[in-house]
Structure 1
Amino acid sequence: MRLIYTQHISFFSSVSCGKLETTKLATVMSGIKARKWLNKKPFQGLPKRDDFEIVEEELPAMKDGEFIAEAQFLTVDPYLRITALGIVVPGKLMPGSQVAKVIQSKSKDYSVGDVVLGEFGWSSHSISDGSKVFKLDSSSPIPHSTALGVLGMPGATAYFGLRDICQPTKEGQTFLVNAAAGAVGSIIGQLAKLKGMKVIGFAGSDEKIEYLKSLGFDVAYNYKTIPSLEAAIKESCPNGVDVFFDNVGGKFLETVIPQMSPTGRVAICGSISQYNNESETKSDFNILGYIQMKQLKVQAFLGWNFMDEWPVAFKEMGQMIQDGKLKYRETVFEGFDSMCDAFVSLFSSNNIGKVVVKV
């Protein structure tokens, strides 16, 4: 079953402590079975349910220093579709982050009831020694699910993408972002606006356009209904695009590059239009010629590159959320069995904000 809901900063809710009450933990101290999503075969085109299988495995006994975590929220991310990256391996657990609750522990650092963020993959239960695991603040008024979105990797990608890659230099510069209603685009658009930039966003539905306007975007277009992408860019950026944050790639990138301002900056965050494209057709667009003649700075990057600084970003962004300066939305799928549906939905135009699965 699928449930879509949105969360804004004026509607904080406490996070569920999971299916197991603390007082009942003594009855489940052994024999825990984990359900896991495995990739069964390489993706071809849009991912399908047949590309996955769910298996059930009994967890081994914990060793000293380990704990068992039960998933509460799991993330699905577009980059998992890029087979060439070798991140997704047939026969292996689908990777990814999750917010989980510690239900058993033989670790001095993690107690039963702690809520953590970890790279546990698409698994209902996991054993961990604490490596690459972060405790979440249970006293925070911001829901723990945000650790997978605005206060997680997507939020960090937006924060450092603007600060280090886009590098706004003065107020009034034009900032164009596509997939603007997504987990990264909706956040970086707001951050650019707070820097005094003129923000133009493109998204794929009228509902998303209304959402972008509510976030303070100066101009927002539904790329599916406008007569011409090129004309829309010229209309909103008559003096050229100073900064372009690209999540889409393909023809969109080819349309924007000729309309960049001299010495403009292009941040390559993703190319979701190409992830399911099996065609080997090559474009004859001379992108390098435009980059050279316009002296553009084009840089691809990953939010993971800035992990050492994530706490600084999240502290600042968390305060922005509580102050009402930064808003976010989530599209939530209900139930562990909905992981595949949630993943496939990333490549449609139906989701707003971060897609997460609530177990």
Structure 2
Amino acid sequence: MERPRHRPVARMAFALGLLLALPGPGLISATLAQSLTEQQSDAQKAYDDALNRFKQVLAERRNQINSKQPLPNLPGQALYLARVDMISTYKDLTDALPSKIGRPNKFGLPPAYFDADAEPLVDEYSKLFGIMEAPPAGAQDSATPFKDVVELAVAIARAKGLDAADAEAAGRISLGLFFAETNGKQNVGNARSNTYKGSLQTGPSEDRIGRKKWAAIKPAIGRFDPQLIARDDKEEARAGDLDHRFNHWTAVRDGLMNAHAELFPQIPSIVRTLKNPIDQMKFFELIQIVPTPTRSALNSGNLLAYRISDPRIMRYLRNNSIFAFGKADRARTSATFRDIMDAMWLFNKKFERALAEYEALKAKKS
């Protein structure tokens, strides 16, 4: 059958018409440039708006505190969300316009996520949280809060069968937990939660579980460290009917026993896998944040490559400032434990302070 001869001609005419209808190379480039400029402009506006909201929330809370007005329930939540939004929109801005990445900042945050010009705002944020999370009347401080954390952790680790070196690692790691949870402040409240309180930010049920586990291990510790048990008896008597989360000693003791002590026997293998002391602290902080998948990762035999993809767990991580900032990070649907620990940069300064305090304690002891 003979093919119609007009088809190629029609196709050629159509193609020529389409080509003529398209803008020239210069117009295409101009269109793309205009679109990119709009994207950058939108990102700049989003950051400016978020920065202004953060300033407004800070000013509102400061005014309420200074004028002794009653604060709303969970007064830190609005501050926290405004800070997250400020950091998130800045990351979106630097993704759209890398030239906006500025100088290093005193908090050690990646410059792509934080504009150093906003340092005074974060200083005010910390001051406000310090006021809102002040320990309640009657809270029982310790004169040696850092030493307490290390000595309790070392004693627990020794009772779990660790040698001296690995028991010291438990002490160092536990001091990191104290700084991660409260910046090294004793007996604090929580401006974002009505549940978690005290030096290790435990809930009532966690405290009860920790006290029960401590009672079981206490005789073993007494056999090699009667002095520590004498201190414990003194603190128990001092606490009396007080919520044990507001006596620094008992709060740390029960917090460690609740969740972390059961993993102390695995510290030798954890330290072999995670040679960086800050990574070791991050791992135990993840026991605080997402305990079940963290234990699963440890038991998998390939801790750093173990992948989390449960949306609920990813949400818990974001609620604790991990993958929380910027569209790209928040779009992640999974992450390995190496990815997770790398994303815990907001904790780095806290853990560095903990290491410095630990080294100071060691120097004083020696």
Tell me which of the two structures has the higher relative contact order, counting C-alpha pairs closer than 8 angstroms and 6 or more residues apart: 1
Give the TM-score of the pair, scaled to structure 1. Answer: 0.25
Q: Give the structure with the larger helix fraction.
A: 2
Give the TM-score of the pair, scaled to structure 2. Answer: 0.25
Q: Give the structure with the larger strand fraction.
A: 1
